Structure 1
Amino acid sequence: MEDGFSSEEVSEILSRYDLGTITSVRGYQRGSSRAPKALIESDQGEYLLKRRAPGRDDPTRIKFEHTVHRELSKAGYPVAEIIASRRSQSTAIRGSHGIYELFRFVRSSRCHGTTTELLSCGAALSDFHGILNDFEYPMPYKAGFHGASRIERHMEKYSKALSRRSRRVCSEIIDCYTQAAESVDSLGWSKWSTTIVHGDWHPGNVLFGDQANVRVVLDFDNVRREPRIVDIASGILHFGRYVTALHKGEGSTWPVELHEPSVKSFARGYASHATQSPVATELAALPALMVEAIALETIPSLLREGRFGEHPVNEFLPVVLHSLKNMLSNSGRLIATLQTILG
C-alpha cells in the first residue's frame, strides 16, 4: 500500500491485535506526513493505525501522553479509544519501522464555523483543563511555543541562502517574535498557575458530531504543563482564522485574520465551563502568544524547506510578517473583547 506504509509493515503490526476479520486497509492522509496513518476496517469496527513521527517516539513521553488520555477517558471526555495489543496489552508497540498506536476510528467532521460549534469547542477546552487541573504524573520535558529558540537557530542556519530583501524581512520577524516573547515574560509568565494543556488545539484535532457538539479530540503529542492561556490563545488563533477562510470561500488561512464573532463564541464557550478563569495579565499576553505561535508554526519549516505549501520562501515571508504586525497592532481591541468575556 502507499502513504508511508508497506503492506508487510501493516501486516506485521496488525497481527499483534485482535481485530477480527480485516476487510480493508487504506492510507489515511490527514495530519503530518511524518506520522503515516492507515484506516483499518474489520468485522469488529473501524480503526486508525499511526506510526509515531521521528523525534516523537520516545517511550517515556508516549507513556505520559497515554496516561493523560486514560485520565480524560475515565472522566467521560470525548477521546478516541487506544486499542491494546493482544498479548502484552500495550497501547504502544514497537515494530520494524518504529513505534505504533492503534485507535478506534470515530466518524466525525471538521468545524463548519457555526456558533454552536464554536461554543462547544471552547467548552471542551475548558473541560480538558478542568479534568486535568490536579493531574499529577512524572512529565518528560516538552517545549512549547513561548520563548522557543528554534526560530533563531533556523534563521542562523538557512537565512544566508535568502535574498537581501528576504533577510531583512526575517530580521523584522525575529524582532516581532522577540518583542512578543519579552512582553509575555514581563506580564508574569513564570508566576501564572499551570495545568496540563493540549498544546495543539486546532480544527484538525477537534472534530464534531451531527449536533455540532465536539465528538472527539485528537493528537496528544504536545500535552505538557503550562498556563492554560497557551491553549486559549491557540484555539482563538486557529479557529478564528479557519472560520475567516470558510467565510471567504478560500482554502488558505493566510494572511492571518481572526473572525471576531467566532472568537467571541469560543471565549464564551470556555467561560461557560471554566472553574478557573485566566487572570488579567494572562489575557493581556494572549495576542503576543499568538504572534509567537504564528512565527513558530511557519518560520522553521519555511526556511528549511524553502517554501510553504505552494509558496516560495521569498514570496511567503512578507505574508508572515504582515500577519505578525497586524496581530500586534490590533492587540488592544482583542484584549478588551476577551477581558469582557473571560475576565
Structure 2
Amino acid sequence: MSAALPAHLVHGMGTALEAPTWPAITTAEAEGVIGRFPGAGRLVGLRWHSPRPFSAATLLQTSRGEFLLKRHHRRLRSPEDLAQEHAFVAHLRAAGLPVSEIIMSADRQGAFAQGDWTYELHRKAPGIDLYRDRLSWTPFLSNGHAFTAGVALAQLHVAARTFTAPTRAARPLVASFTILPSPDPLAAAEAYVADRPALAGYLADKPWRRELGRLFATFGDGLPERLAGHRTLWTHNDWHPSNLMWTADGEVASIIDFGLATRTSALHDLATAIERTAIEWLRLGEGADIAQPDAAIALLAGYRSIVALDASEIETVVRLLPLVHVEFALSEIDYFAGIVSAPQDAAIAWHDYLIGHAEWFLSAPARDFGSRIMGAATA
C-alpha cells in the first residue's frame, strides 16, 4: 500500500481551504468498496483526495489502472438518483463524447448503497487535470481554453438532443429550470421553496419574496417569452474548467462531473458556463473589475463554431446572466440549511451568491461586459 496522504482539506465558500464536511475515504473503506466492482481489480493505494466539498472522492490505483471512487451521503444521492445521471453519461459516451467510463458493480449497477453512503466508481478520465486544485469560480487560464470549452459544450448539446429522459428528481445540489421559464417566476419560486422544508425554514424570517421579486422585476422582464420557444434538453449545468480534462496543446480531453445534470435548455447551460468562468466572483467586493469579457467571447465563439446562434439567442444568453444562478443558489441553501446544518454557509449562499451576484449586474463593468459580448457576437 502507498504511504498515507496529507491531511485532507476542501474548498470552502471563499478562497480558503477548510476541514471537510464529509470525511475522506480511507484505504480500508476503499478496499471494501472495490470488492463490489469485479472489473476494478485489487486495490494498490490511494493517490489523491478531491478538494470538492459536496461529496468525498479519491483517485485510487488498482491492479487494473486508476479509478475515481466517489461517496455521497444517502440524503444527497441514492443509487436511483445516480442511475439517472449515469444514463445521460452513457448516452453521451455512445454518441462519441469523451466522458468518464462508469464501472458496473457485481449486480450490473453503476452505484450501490451501504449504510449512510452511496458509492460510484469511474475509470480515471483521460487527459491532464490542469485545474483540479483551482476553485470552481476561477477563470480559464487562457482564451484558447475558453474557445475549446465552448466547442465541447456545443458538442454535448448536440448529442443531448436525442436523450429523451424526463427531468431528474428534485434533490439538493441538482440544477433545475422551473423558475425563469415561468410566466410568474415569483410564484414558481414560492413553489420551489415550499417543496423544500429546510429551505423554507431558513427563509422564513427573511423578506425573500420581496428580494426575489425585485430581482425578477429588474432582470427578468421578457425572459419567459424568450425561453418559451427553446426546446429543453439534458445539460451539464456545472461547466467550468475544473470539470474538464485537457490535452497538452489545450484541447478538451474529457468531460467530468455530471452531478448537476438535468433537463434545462442549451441557452441556460451556455449562460451558466459564462457566468461561472468569465466573472471572478471570488474577488467580488475587492473594488476590482471582475469581468473577463474576452473569455466569454471566446467561449461563445467556440460554441458557435458547432451550433449556430442568432442575435436574439445571444441576447437571451446575456439577459439570463444575472439570474441564471438563482435556482442552484436556492438548492445550495437547502443543502446547507438541511443536510449539513451550516446556517453560516446558507447565509453566504443567500446574501453573497444569490443576491450579491445578481446585483453586480447593475454595475457599469457588468453593463460593459454584456455590451462587449453582444457587440463581438453580432459583429
TM-score bracket, shorter-length normalisation: 0.7 to 0.9
Q: Which residue of 1 aligns with 2:246?
A: 208
Q: Which residue of 2 aligns with 1:282?
A: 316
- Cα deviation, 1:14-60, whole Å, max 9, x if unaligned, reads 11223333221256133234x21122112321111011343442444
1:303-318 to 2 correspondences below 5 Å: 305-308=342-345, 313=347, 317=351
What TM-score does the superposition give when structure 2 sets the normalisation length? 0.71
How many angstroms apart in 2 are the aligned matches of 1:227 and 1:138?
Answer: 13
How big is the alpha-carbon RMSD for the aligned residues of Structure 1 and Structure 2?
A: 3.6
Structure 1 contact 37–49 (Cα < 8 Å) conserved: yes
Q: Aligned partner of 1:239: which letter?
A: T
- Post-superposition shift, 1:264? 0.9
Q: Which residue of 2 aligns with 1:261?
A: 294
Q: Which residue of 2 aligns with 1:157?
A: 201
Q: Which residue of 2 aligns with 1:248?
A: none
- 1:78 is paired with a residue whose SS is coil
Q: Which residue of 2 aligns with 1:135?
A: 163
- 1:274 is paired with a residue whose SS is coil
CA gap of 1:66–1:294, structure 2 versus 1, over 3 A, is closer
The one of 27, 32, 45 equivalent to 1:24 is: 45
- Cα deviation, 1:89-130, whole Å, max 9, x if unaligned, reads 322223334321111123421275211101011111111101
How many angstroms apart in 1 are the aligned matches of 2:271 and 2:226?
Answer: 16
Q: Which residue of 2 aligns with 1:225?
A: 263
How many angstroms apart in 2 are the aligned matches of 1:4 and 1:188?
Answer: 44
Q: Aligned partner of 1:20: which letter?
A: G
Percent identical pairs in the alignment equals 19
Q: Aligned partner of 2:52: which letter?
A: G
Write 1 or 2 for the structure with the bigger share of helix: 1
The one of 83, 96, 117 equivalent to 1:98 is: 117
Aligned length: 324
- Cα deviation, 1:216-267, whole Å, max 9, x if unaligned, reads 21121222222211111111111112xx47xxxxxx3434932111111111
- Post-superposition shift, 1:210? 1.6
- 2:119 is paired with a residue whose SS is strand
Q: Which residue of 1 aligns with 2:30?
A: 10
Q: Which residue of 1 aligns with 2:13?
A: none
- 1:225 is paired with a residue whose SS is strand
Q: Aligned partner of 1:40: which letter?
A: L
Q: Which residue of 2 aligns with 1:113?
A: 141
CA gap of 1:283–1:317, structure 2 versus 1, over 3 A, is closer
- Post-superposition shift, 1:73? 1.2
How many angstroms apart in 2 are the aligned matches of 1:239 and 1:199?
Answer: 12
What TM-score does the superposition give when structure 1 sets the normalisation length? 0.78
Q: Aligned partner of 1:116: which letter?
A: G
Q: Which residue of 1 aligns with 2:236?
A: 198
- 1:204 is paired with a residue whose SS is helix
- The runs of 5 or more residues in structure 2 that have no matched partner are 9-22, 132-138, 180-188
How many angstroms apart in 2 are the aligned matches of 1:21 and 1:8?
Answer: 12
Structure 1 contact 40–47 (Cα < 8 Å) conserved: yes
The one of 216, 225, 229 equivalent to 1:187 is: 225
How many angstroms apart in 2 are the aligned matches of 1:291 and 1:6?
Answer: 34
Q: Is 1:70 paired with 2:73?
A: no
- 1:288 is paired with a residue whose SS is coil
The one of 45, 65, 73 equivalent to 2:65 is: 45
- Post-superposition shift, 1:291? 5.7
How many angstroms apart in 2 are the aligned matches of 1:48 and 1:328?
Answer: 42
- The runs of 5 or more residues in structure 1 that have no matched partner are 162-166, 246-251
How many angstroms apart in 1 are the aligned matches of 2:327 and 2:283?
Answer: 14
The one of 110, 124, 149 equivalent to 2:152 is: 124
How many angstroms apart in 1 are the aligned matches of 2:230 and 2:124?
Answer: 37
CA gap of 1:234–1:280, structure 2 versus 1, over 3 A, is closer
Structure 1 contact 49–102 (Cα < 8 Å) conserved: yes
Structure 2 contact 166–263 (Cα < 8 Å) conserved: no
Q: Aligned partner of 1:32: which letter?
A: P
